[in-house]
Amino acid sequence: MPQDKATRRPRAETPKGFRDYFGAEVTERKAMLDKVAEVYHRYGFDPLETSAVETVEALGKFLPDVDRPNEGVFAWQDEDQDWLALRYDLTAPLARVAAQFRNDLPSPYRRYAMGPVWRNEKPGPGRFRQFYQCDADTVGAPSVAADAEICAMLSDALETVGIPRGDYIVRVNNRKVLNGVMEVAGVLDPTNPERFASRARHRPPRHRQDSTALAKPASAPLLGEGRKDESGDFTKGAGLVAEQAETVMAFMAARRDTGAATTARLRELVGTSAMGSEGVQELETIAELLDRQGYGPDRILIDPGVVRGLGYYTGPVYEAELTFEILDEKGRKRQFGSVSGGGRYDDLVKRFTGQSVPATGVSIGVDRLLAALRAKGRIGTDTQGPVVVTVMDRDRMADYLSMVADLRNAGIRAEVYLGNPKNFGNQLKYADKRASPVAVIQGGNEAETGTVILKDLILGAQIAQNATLEEWKDRPAQVEIPRAELVAAVRKMLGK
């Protein structure tokens, strides 16, 4: 009689383009985002959590097609035949919320959002299909004071998480100024400015070329047909001919030593263009507002070299660049580059309401910023494990749990060993694997005398590696104390 085929076991591996985050990584990210949230909260922004799933119609950009209905996003058709998709950024859901609850929300509406987003794109080294974003936006404020505030808030957030002044710069430009330059040069129809288009803001820094690099001659292909990167991915260019590209390159090289000198040069370039003059005036206003608050060019500067999402933004654009050097995978020095970007997008909510709604915002690439903090040794969350109460007698589990309760009630992280207690050595190996600083031991003899033994695992490891026999005797890594003094003694040992 033929035997049934053995049931195929599933492969224990993450899907391609996805990853798992373990203890220290999750703790570091939360600590960093908590600091960013404190800054945003201080500026009067409210948190918003939107659904991870949106209708494809609401997402707008990635409408399904016959051949590949989920291109760019992870999409599916529900029982009502509606197309749904995992959100690919945090801005599209905001536009939907602003339209759906426009009669209930204050205007302007200021919100920040943090969470995972999903992109159905080709994965590669450091490029994942799920990653975190951290956004802050103001919807309903037409004044560029809102843009200046976003830039100031971004500057404060970077310094708060551990990027000191001098290691970053926030660069500010204006899409209107570039349009004005191109209009004067005769390469842009002012009635159809969308002809010069690039990728949208919601493409995060780690998936987008460093847009300040567009000012370099080597990046000129991005203004033309496009460029293929080292991974083989092709980035579509703006489609300009050589003369048009030269005009744009001259514009991006217009930065001078001061903001006033830069805007004066830009006024020369925009000439009689009304749109260009309006953009220069907005940059002058932003520079003045920031200067009055103490944000000088050492933190935020006017830089025409910033070219971002020109088919998406309608006014000021900005980008935070980290200026310190790191070593790449080949050991070469390079600047870290962009970790955040944003700008004004006054037409996004219009898709829902039919009316133009002013909006401006910024997005931080969370993984990029975390990587920068790690590279500079500026992230130091507490990755110490819990105090482990070992189990010497199964029948006395209540006593061990009582010890853990006392430690926890005193604010000390602690746990009872819940594995097989038969082999005590395995309990200490477990404590080592948990990065536990202290092990609590109470056998039958200690229970009779009302004492416990504290084993300083960190000191013990240091002594075992470096100390002489005499030092071992002088600095015991194990002490016996009264049970009543458990909390005080553990706290003292942790303090060392």
Q: What is the pLDDT of residues 100-146, one digit of tens each?
A: 999 999 999 999 999 999 988 888 777 789 999 999 999 999 999 99
Q: Which amino acid is at 186?
A: G
CA atoms of 170 and 92, how far apart (whole Å): 24
Q: Which of 34-38, 310-314, 349-353 has the lowest mean pLDDT?
A: 310-314
Half-sphere exposure of 123 (CA within 13 A, CB side): 13
For the segment 411-426, the average pLDDT, to the nearest whole number, is 93
| Confidence check: pLDDT of 283 > 70 | yes
Give how far Cα 410 sits from Cα of 8, 406, 414, 492, Å. Answer: 49, 6, 10, 13
> What is the structure's pLDDT at 165?
93
> Alpha helix (H) ranges present in 217-273?
242-252, 259-270
| Confidence check: pLDDT of 307 > 80 | no
Considering the chain, tell me which residue range(s) the CATH 3.30.930.10 domain(s) occupy.
Answer: 23-52+87-375
Two tokens, residue 57: 């119609």
> What is the structure's pLDDT at 318?
94
Instruction: Count CB neighbours of 97 within 10 A.
Output: 21
The band of 56, judged by pLDDT with boundaries at 50, 70 and 90, is confident
The band of 462, judged by pLDDT with boundaries at 50, 70 and 90, is low
Buried (b) or exposed (e) across 177-199, using 16+ Cβ within 10 A?
A: bbbbbbbbbebbeeeebebbebb
- Cα diameter, the chain: 94
Q: CB burial class (10 A; 0-12, 13-18, 19+) of residue 311?
A: middle
Two tokens, residue 473: 């005797």
The band of 206, judged by pLDDT with boundaries at 50, 70 and 90, is very low
Q: Chain-wide mean pLDDT for the chain?
A: 83
3-state helix vs strand vs coil in the chain, percent to 5: 40, 20, 40
| Confidence check: pLDDT of 455 > 60 | yes
For the segment 76-91, the average pLDDT, to the nearest whole number, is 88
For the segment 348-371, the average pLDDT, to the nearest whole number, is 91
> What is the structure's pLDDT at 211?
38
From the centroid of its chain, how far is CA 316? 22
Beta strand 130-139 with 53-55 is: unpaired
For the segment 422-448, the average pLDDT, to the nearest whole number, is 92
For the segment 76-84, the average pLDDT, to the nearest whole number, is 85
From the centroid of its chain, how far is CA 184? 39
> What is the structure's pLDDT at 222?
60
From the centroid of its chain, how far is CA 495? 33
In which residue are the tokens 């929300």 written?
Answer: 105
Question: Is the model more confident about 487 or about 227?
Answer: 487
Pick the CATH number of 23-52+87-375 from 3.30.930.10, 3.90.950.10, 3.40.50.1820, 3.30.499.10: 3.30.930.10
> What is the structure's pLDDT at 239?
63
| Confidence check: pLDDT of 289 > 80 | yes
> What is the structure's pLDDT at 159?
96
> What is the structure's pLDDT at 257?
80
> What is the structure's pLDDT at 154?
97
Question: Is the model more confident about 64 or about 160?
Answer: 160
Question: Residue 169: which of 361, 340, 342 has the closest Cα?
Answer: 340
> What is the structure's pLDDT at 267?
87
Q: Which of 103-117, 346-360, 395-409 has the lowest mean pLDDT?
A: 346-360
- What DSSP element (H or E) covers 341? strand 333-344
Architecture of domain 387-495: 3-Layer(aba) Sandwich (3.40)
For the chain, give the percent of residues with pLDDT over 90.
Answer: 49
> What is the structure's pLDDT at 309?
63
For the segment 350-374, the average pLDDT, to the nearest whole number, is 91
Question: Is the model more confident about 191 or about 145?
Answer: 145
> What is the structure's pLDDT at 261?
85
Considering the chain, tell me which residue range(s) the CATH 3.40.50.800 domain(s) occupy.
Answer: 387-495
Question: Residue 239: which of 252, 226, 228, 248 has the closest Cα?
Answer: 226
> What is the structure's pLDDT at 178?
85
For the segment 348-362, the average pLDDT, to the nearest whole number, is 91
The pTM for the full model equals: 0.79
